[in-house]
Amino acid sequence: MDKEEVIALLERYYEGTATAEEERRLRRFLLAADVPEEFAAEQAYFQALAAARRRPAPALEERLAALVDERLGGGEHRMRRMPRAMRRTLPLAAALLAGAFLYFFVATQRPRDTYQDPRLAWHETRRVLLYVSEKLNEGTRTLSYLDELSLPAREMQKVERATAVLDRLPLLQFPAPEEEKRGKSPEKRTNQ
């Protein structure tokens, strides 16, 4: 592999974008004996990774069992079962304790006034609300193009309202075709 290719593979490896095949090629190159001096740090890193993979770690279960035996003095340990009455009353006691905690430490506490000076509290509230308003405006600014999309619908509503007004005017109403045949004009119809 040439120097530029190794540098590109290292960059992709450290960025986390290298494929599995690229990582294998890089690992093979850096674990070889004839690596250029400029890649010595990467070679040491990959050698340490390879050594860590070769060492088998003892199973977690075995280590925990050995630790328990060591702490408890070894031998066979038998787990005792909790009496039935205790198994039924323990959840009730826990619930009562939780309820007492909530009552005494949460429900009885009154909110404290954090500002002694009302003007300072007002200014701080105003500052926070202006900040929230600024962020809200910043977030909704990108939605302004939606107004442009609804412009034709608003124009159509204006036309519909104007049409409804014109339909109510008697002078602009045209006679129905059967009224024309009988000779009635719009003026006669409105006067009747």
pTM of the full structure: 0.31
Q: What pLDDT is stored for residue 176 in this prediction?
A: 60
Q: Which residue has the tokens 């050594």?
A: 51
Q: Decide: helix, strand or coil at residue 132.
A: helix
Q: How many CA atoms lie within 13 A of 33 on its CB side?
A: 0
Do 175 and 185 form a contact (C-beta atoms < 8 A)? Answer: yes
**Whether residue 70 has pLDDT greater than 50:** yes
Structure-block tokens of residue 6:
């190794």
pLDDT tier for residue 76 given thresholds of 50, 70 and 90 = low
Inter-residue contact 30 to 44 (CB < 8 Å) = no
Q: Where are the domains of the chain?
A: 3-54, 118-149
Task: Write down the pLDDT at residue 84.
Answer: 81
Of 59, 51, 42, nearest to 1 by C-alpha is 42
Contact call for residues 6 and 29 (beta carbons, < 8 A): yes
- The answer to whether the beta carbons of residues 75 and 59 sit under 8 Å apart is no
Q: List the one residue out of 31, 47, 30 whose CA is nearest residue 39.
A: 30
With CA atoms as reference, report the closest residue to 186 among 178, 175, 176, 177.
175
Query: What is the distance, to the nearest Å, from the Cα of residue 159 to the centroid of all Cα atoms in its chain?
Result: 44
40, pLDDT greater than 60: yes
pLDDT in tens, 77-128: 566 777 888 888 888 999 999 998 888 887 777 767 777 888 888 999 999 9
Distances (CA, A) of 12 to 16, 41, 79, 85, 119: 6, 17, 53, 63, 57
- 41: its two tokens: 């740090």
